[in-house]
């Protein structure tokens, strides 16, 4: 089919079915609209899925990061080491706790925090390390965990894009304190929503207190907290999505494998041996001609997106940190080259072939 005859292929497509609609109606009919039994049920199912003892539902992935940082005692004067190549919430959640984000450059292989650069960035003020499993590809979190254990630093995984991804035989979000997002474009959704995963009883207890105004007893506030609670309507959607997440992840992986087999004209994403990459994004690299290729894809009826065009250390709100050009060269080169193509479970085999054929036609190495 020609571009004029095919429906536009969007970069993302949330999947909401009849079960989600029925589950939401049940919650509305029950009159339990705030955090209640559905949230508890969702927490249990999600904790089992990740392979941890506790999951704490909150109202966004950003909330998950802030609550997790505060549960680990991160506050003013503390430094948290993270990647400069991520969505802004990775760094602004640290700033929201009064702490300072300290960036280390990324590994060009997987575009995730390079553990080899970690030790040089650690100071007496370092409180935590926050790797991001960008696009659903695991950061080298087993190595990072060893360093954190040796130095008694908290390990907080930004797993907002990595539901069900695996490294060293375990699900991400089970190495340290895991933070997931259920925003509509993620691998599964609750509408807005997020969750924290942990095996640590004390961290879990603190997360539950902090998400509910810092109160353990009603109207007595021993900790600083705000309203980060999940709503039961959102938890009900999440519960229905749990029946599908593995099928959807497998569809993403199959689509990504087909794209990588068919695409010849650009650099395709790499997967480290033994890792399970869940392809929240399928991101190719186009140094030099990205804008022209993106326009040609649009013309051919294929959505694409740049994740992310500006590295965090160059964002206007981070200027006071004083990082100029060349501060983190691998992240800066990635920001100039990356382009995400559709990989979501709604693609049919002919969509995948059309995307690959179009890229091969419009992009040249």
Ligand X SMILES: *Cc1c(COP(=O)(O)O)cnc(C)c1O
Q: Is 61 in the site for ligand X (CB under 6 A)?
A: yes
CB of residue 109 to ligand X, shortest distance in Å: 18
Among 131, 138, 164, 194, the residue binding ligand X under the rule CB under 6 A is 194
Q: Is 183 in the site for ligand X (CB under 6 A)?
A: yes
Among 35, 39, 60, 198, the residue binding ligand X under the rule CB under 6 A is 60
Among 50, 132, 253, 347, the residue binding ligand X under the rule CB under 6 A is 132
CB of residue 86 to ligand X, shortest distance in Å: 5
Q: Is 332 in the site for ligand X (CB under 6 A)?
A: no
* Residue whose Cβ sits closest to ligand X: 61
Total number of residues binding ligand X (CB under 6 A)?
14
The one segment of 36-44, 48-56, 83-91, 283-291 that binds ligand X by CB under 6 A: 83-91
Q: Is 340 in the site for ligand X (CB under 6 A)?
A: no
The one segment of 29-37, 103-111, 142-150, 153-161 that binds ligand X by CB under 6 A: 153-161
Among 35, 70, 83, 90, the residue binding ligand X under the rule CB under 6 A is 90
One-letter-per-residue 3-state SS of the chain: CCHHHCCCECCCCCCCCHHHHHHHHHHHHHCCCCCCHHHHHHHHHHHHHHCCCEEEEECCHHHHHHHHHHHCCCCCCCEEEECCCCCCHHHHHHHHCCCEEEECCECCCCCCECHHHHHHHCCCCEEEEECECHHHCCCCHHHHHHHHHHHCCEEEEECCCCCCCEECCEECCCCCEEEEECCCCCCCCCCCCEEEEECCHHHHHHHHHHCECCEEECCEECCCCCECECCHHHHHHHHHHHCCHHHHHHHHHHHHHHHHHHCCCCECCCCCCCCECCCCCEEEECCCCHHHHHHHHHHCCECCECCCCCCHHHCHHHHHHCCCCCCCHHHHHHHHHEEEECCCCCCCHHHHHHHHHHHHHHCCC
Among 50, 68, 102, 160, the residue binding ligand X under the rule CB under 6 A is 160
Q: Is 181 in the site for ligand X (CB under 6 A)?
A: yes
The one segment of 54-62, 109-117, 257-265, 332-340 that binds ligand X by CB under 6 A: 54-62
CB of residue 252 to ligand X, shortest distance in Å: 15
Residues near ligand X (CB under 6 A) are 60-62, 86-87, 89-90, 132, 158, 160-161, 181, 183, 194
């Amino acid at each position: 089919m020609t571009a004029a005859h095919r429906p536009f292929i969007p970069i993302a497509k949330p999947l909401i079915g009849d079960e989600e609609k029925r589950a939401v109606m049940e919650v509305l009919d029950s009159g339990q609209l705030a955090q209640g039994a559905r949230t508890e049920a969702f927490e249990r199912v999600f904790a089992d899925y990740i392979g941890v003892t506790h999951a704490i539902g909150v109202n966004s992935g950003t909330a998950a990061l802030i609550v997790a940082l505060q549960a680990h005692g991160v506050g003013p004067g503390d430094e948290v080491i993270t990647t400069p190549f991520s969505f802004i919430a990775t760094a602004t959640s640290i700033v929201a706790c009064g702490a300072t984000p300290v960036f280390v450059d990324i590994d060009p292989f997987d575009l995730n925090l390079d553990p080899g650069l970690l030790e040089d960035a650690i100071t007496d003020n370092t409180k935590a390390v926050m790797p991001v499993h960008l696009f659903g590809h695991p950061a080298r979190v087993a190595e990072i965990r060893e360093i954190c254990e040796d130095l008694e630093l908290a390990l907080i995984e930004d797993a907002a894009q990595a539901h069900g991804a695996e490294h060293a035989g375990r699900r991400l979000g089970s190495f340290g304190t895991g933070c997931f997002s259920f925003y509509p474009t993620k691998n599964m959704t609750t509408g807005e929503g997020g969750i924290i995963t942990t095996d640590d009883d004390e961290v879990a207890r603190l997360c539950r207190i902090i998400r509910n105004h810092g109160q353990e007893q009603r109207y007595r506030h021993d900790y600083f907290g705000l309203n980060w609670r999940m709503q039961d309507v959102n938890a009900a959607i999440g519960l229905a999505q749990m029946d599908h997440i593995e099928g959807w992840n497998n569809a993403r992986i199959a689509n990504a494998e087909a794209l990588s087999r068919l695409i010849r004209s650009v650099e395709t994403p790499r997967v480290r041996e033994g890792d399970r990459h869940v392809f929240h994004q399928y991101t190719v690299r186009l140094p030099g001609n990205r804008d022209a290729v993106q326009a040609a894809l649009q013309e051919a009826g294929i959505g694409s997106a740049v994740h992310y065009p500006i590295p965090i250390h160059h964002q206007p709100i981070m200027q006071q940190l004083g990082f100029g050009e060349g501060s983190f060269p691998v992240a800066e080169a990635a920001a100039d080259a990356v382009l995400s193509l559709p990989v979501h479970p709604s693609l049919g085999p002919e969509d995948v072939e059309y995307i690959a054929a179009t890229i091969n036609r419009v992009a040249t190495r």
